[in-house]
Amino acid sequence: MTDLNALSIAEARDGLRAGRFTAQELTEACLAAIDGAGRLNAFVHQTPEIARQRAADADARLRAGDAPAMCGIPVGIKDLFCTEGVPSQAASFILNGFLPPYESTVGARLRDAGAVMLGKLNMDEFAMGSSNETSVYGPAVNPWKVDGRDLTPGGSSGGSAAAVAADLCLGATGTDTGGSIRQPAAFTGTVGIKPTYGRCSRWGIVAFASSLDQAGPMTRTVRDAAIMLGAMCGHDPKDSTSADLPVPDFEAALTGDVRGRRIGIPREYRMDGMPAEIAALWDRGAEMLRDAGAEIVDISLPHTKYALPAYYVIAPAEASSNLARYDGVRYGHRAKLTQGEGIVEMYEKTRAEGFGPEVQRRVMIGTYVLSAGFYDAYYNRARKVRTLIKRDFDMAFDDGIDAILTPATPSAAFALGEKAGGDPVEMYLNDIFTVPVNMAGLPAVALPSGLDGRGRPLGLQLIGRPWEEGDLLNIAWRLETAAGFVSKPQKWW
């Protein structure tokens, strides 16, 4: 029973339904694992009372034969999701003490499906970062360790990735604005899917860049991602960008048959200086899909090189607007004033104290590109580039491409502190393969496909047609099966 926390969601679901163990036993195994993994700093707020109550409720549903696929499954919730009565700070000091009186739609869907919330997970502040080093709680630590050095689990969903990789929970929620699900998944040997923009409701998720943010699951396997995504998504009238479309049975789509599927290999992703191990992994992934009966096709996405600079105009601009609401008046941190200081000083001091350096940097960039005289030169031009990037993908899919295969990241996980505090552009380059997907609003999945020469996980990315997550996950499942990635981090924490 002590290894229940190492089960996949599918294995746990089947075991619960067969009565081999209870949701309460499964939950206690995860709570014990969390208690023993403080060194990873993955969970920032534990909710054992809520977990035990929901586990008991899940067992009652299981006994009654009312057991959706996620019933009794212990999960972690990224700190960006509002959770009723539980601290929800987006890993920022400015939201210190904020207890939402409501539950995010995604969190409510998981709760209603019987999932057991174990607590809130670490992340980069307001989801702005690629290494989980901007968190007010300090960085989460990757359970994979190399040469005695602590590695980043990636960002912004670093706590989610670390918790799943270390068997602290069976699945976790993440959000992806420019790669914040897929990059951490690749760094930790886990699976992460960013669904089509609008597939999951954004209501109750602290906003970073509203036209780019999208929630998704982080799990150990592609099948688990299909199961969890099915519980998370669906139309929500409270979110004007939520798509009013039926939710397919994503797990039922996992047939493994990819014969005749046309897989695009974009030539623009073979960038100068790409590490040989990344290029070899990419080639091997294409070969595995070819061996499974897919057709590998060279394609062009000519505006790829403009995606990153356009993203770092649009995302900060939207962040500048979204984060204007944090002023110390209604909730969260409020700066103390000295005699004679008024409301303007309160705004200034609160935001200076409450926001970390990276958030301040992006707010200032966003305010600049939206200001008079620069709006057309930067923001409107970036929006036009975004349209061209989306058109590239549309043309590829119109030409009969079913999915696009790329590396997930330009490198394996790097050491904590290795890139922090230096040139921020070097950190931003971690998202070079993931950002175009968000700009186009497409679904994409990252899955572990091998180890580098130092024993660090490496991931591949599959990009799918809009609203075709089932087909995308099926291709990913076939690739996962062929890759046969079964490596786990050695427990040191």
Catalytic residues: 78, 156, 180
Return the number of other C-beta atoms located less than 10 Å from residue 271's C-beta: 15
Calpha distance 12→6 (Å, rounded): 9
Calpha distance 445→457 (Å, rounded): 16
Instruction: Dig out the tokens for 444 from the structure.
Output: 């994409």
Q: Could you give the 3-state DSSP secondary structure of residue 297?
A: strand
Q: Could you give the 3-state DSSP secondary structure of residue 6?
A: helix
What is the full DSSP assignment across 334-374?
-----TT--HHHHHHHHHHHHS-HHHHHHHHHHHHHTSTTT
Is residue 50 within 8 A of residue 86, CB to CB? The reply is yes
Calpha distance 164→77 (Å, rounded): 11
Instruction: Dig out the tokens for 62 from the structure.
Output: 């299981």
Taking the CA atoms of the chain, what radius of gyration do you get in angstroms? Answer: 21
Phi/psi at 317 (5° precision): -65, -45
* Pairing relationship of beta strands 457-464 and 403-407 according to DSSP bridges: antiparallel
Is residue 151 within 8 A of residue 85, CB to CB? The reply is no
Is residue 333 within 8 A of residue 94, CB to CB? The reply is yes
- Which residue has tokens 């049975």? 249
What is the H or E stretch that residue 266 is in? Answer: strand 262-266
The widest CA-to-CA distance across the chain, in whole angstroms, is 74
Contacts of 196 (CB under 8 A, 6+ apart): 214, 243, 441, 442, 443, 466, 467, 469
User: For residue 371, is the peptide bond before it cis, meaning its omega torsion is within 30 degrees of 0?
Assistant: no
The candidate with the shortest Cα–Cα distance to 78, out of 40, 104, 96, 39, is 104
What's CA 429's distance to the chain center, in Å? 17
**Beta strand residue intervals within 1-47, DSSP E:** 43-46
Per the document, the length of the chain is 493
Is residue 424 within 8 A of residue 356, CB to CB? The reply is no
Is residue 380 within 8 A of residue 332, CB to CB? The reply is no
Instruction: Dig out the tokens for 455 from the structure.
Output: 């024993």
